[in-house]
């Protein structure tokens, strides 16, 4: 199914109008003088967002006749691989720490993106891990989770 840019645009704008309504109505729960002042600020943001989104949506419905296809990425497979790999990297981060997932992530993504020269990949991976260890762990004492050295 081909989704046009204007469809996504309109869907986002409708979502923003809904958000503005929810945001505005949520301020009725704000109590006390300090919260009431915050409520005014949030109400201002909600009204502005709702109003401008409505204007933009009206303009789009009235004027926009384009059929430009919505393309998130020119190469969906590589794009998806990177996103999934990043999520897996983050999930593994807490369990096994930084270094093991990074040692897998860097070469795998390089290969997935079509780079096949093994030596530069290995050297880059080693250099990055060594740099992180020396600067982050040793010098700046950043507490990376997982296995410690």
Partner 1 sequence: MEHIQTVFSFSSLLTIIIGTIAGVAVGGMPGLTATMAVGLLVPFTYTMDPTLGLMLLGGIYCGAMYGGSIPAILLNTPGTPAAVATAIEGYPMAKSGRGALALKVSVIASFVGGTFSVLILLLFAPVLAQQALKFGPAETFLLAIMGLAGIISIADENSSLIKAIIAGLIGMIIAVIGTDDMSGSLRYTMGVIELIDGVDFMPALIGLFSMIQMLELAGQKTHKIDTSVLNQTSKKEKLPKGISKYIALGSGTGTVIGVLPGEGATIAAFISYNFSKRISKVKELFGKGNPEGIAAAESGNNGCVGGSLVPTITLGIPGNSVAAALMGAFIIHGMIPGPELFNEYADRTYPFIISMFVANGVFLIVGLTLAPYLARVALVPPAIMVPVVATFAVLGSYALNNAVFDVYVMIVFALGGLIIKRIGFSLEALILGLILGPIAEGGFSQGMIIGHGSPWIFFESTIAKIMWVIIFILLVPPLYSYLKTFVFNKEKNA
Positions in the binding site for partner 1 (CB under 8 A): 5, 8-9, 12, 16, 19, 23, 26, 32-35, 37-38, 40-42, 45-46, 48-49, 52-53, 55-56, 59, 70-76, 78-79, 81-83, 86-87, 89-90, 93-94, 98, 102, 105-110, 113-115, 120-121, 124, 128, 132, 135-136, 140-145
Picking from 149, 146, 107, 147, the residue whose alpha carbon sits closest to that of residue 127 is 107
Q: Nearest distance from residue 46's CB to partner 1, in Å? A: 8
Rounded CA gap, 104 and 88, in Å? Answer: 11
Q: For partner 1, which is the closer residue by CB, 143 or 148?
A: 143
Q: Are 143 and 129 in contact (CB under 8 A)?
A: no
Bridge partners (DSSP) listed for residue 146? 97
Q: Nearest distance from residue 5's CB to partner 1, in Å? A: 6
């Amino acid at each position: 199914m081909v989704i046009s840019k204007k469809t996504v645009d309109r869907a986002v704008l409708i979502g923003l109008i809904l958000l503005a309504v929810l945001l505005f109505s949520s301020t009725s729960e704000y109590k006390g003088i300090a919260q009431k002042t915050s409520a005014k600020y949030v109400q201002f943001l909600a009204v502005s967002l709702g109003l401008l989104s409505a204007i933009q949506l009206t303009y789009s419905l009235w004027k926009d006749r384009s059929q430009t296809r919505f393309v998130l990425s020119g190469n969906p497979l590589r794009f998806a691989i990177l996103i999934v790999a990043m999520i897996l990297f983050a999930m593994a981060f807490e369990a096994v720490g930084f270094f093991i997932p990074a040692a897998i992530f860097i070469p795998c993504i390089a290969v997935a993106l079509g780079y096949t020269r093994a030596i530069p990949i290995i050297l880059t991976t080693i250099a990055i891990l060594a740099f992180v260890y020396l600067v982050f762990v040793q010098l700046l004492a950043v507490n990376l989770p997982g296995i410690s050295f």
